[in-house]
A and B are shown apart, each in its own frame.
Chain A
Amino acid sequence: RKEVEQDPGPFNVPEGATVAFNCTYSNSASQSFFWYRQDCRKEPKLLMSVYSSGNEDGRFTAQLNRASQYISLLIRDSKLSDSATYLCVVSGQGGSEKLVFGKGTKLTVNP
């Protein structure tokens, strides 16, 4: 089983749509969770950390379910500028502080 799994997409949605991405991780000892976005041939940029109680940042909402080892990201009112690849990232497995990346989910928001 892959350490971090994501639906690769692509997701093609119209402007204004709501879109949800899911991610599962295999190591139950994981401690820290993040969503990054990556534009084509650019560096991963932090979108938000994911907390156990769930958290929201503007149009973005992240949820964590430790029992199911599942992380989600919801984007409301999609903008053209949201088009990117969204990377689920997990860290802190068994004392390791490396970031483990999913392969990413590609989103295209269409006018």
Chain B
Amino acid sequence: EPEVTQTPSHQVTQMGQEVILRCVPISNHLYFYWYRQILGQKVEFLVSFYNNEISEKSEIFDDQFSVERPDGSNFTLKIRSTKLEDSAMYFCASRTGPGTEAFFGQGTRLTVV
């Protein structure tokens, strides 16, 4: 069964460092998303990506964040200068189109120390 894969599963980084979280969405999906979940809180939308550009972003997704689809398979989230409050689980998701079911990767646990 096709699945969304994310790497790494866990990343520890020092405050101020840059991190890149990687995702391989399901191959025939066209819409890609990043979400995050701080421990004990709800899943929060960060950004959506369609047709090689950002289609929507939340207030959380400030200038420290960027996304890229560098080739036909990978979808990355970069955080330029991590803060302690960026510590969270980051989930990538993909879906075929509007209104369809979205599938999530297993997440990357980011710990900023």
Chain A residues with a Cβ under 8 A of chain B: 31-32, 34, 38, 41-46, 49, 87, 91-92, 96-104
Contact = CB atoms under 8 A, between A and B. Distances in A.
A99 B102 contact: yes
25 contacts: A31-B99, A32-B98, A32-B99, A32-B100, A41-B89, A42-B106, A43-B91, A43-B104, A43-B106, A44-B91, A44-B104, A49-B101, A96-B56, A97-B31, A97-B50, A97-B98, A98-B56, A99-B35, A99-B93, A99-B102, A101-B35, A101-B42, A102-B42, A103-B41, A104-B42
A99 B101 contact: no
A110 B29 CA distance: 39
Nearest to B98: A97
Interface residues of B, number: 27
Nearest to B100: A32
B103 interface: yes
A100 B58 CA distance: 11
A92 B99 contact: yes
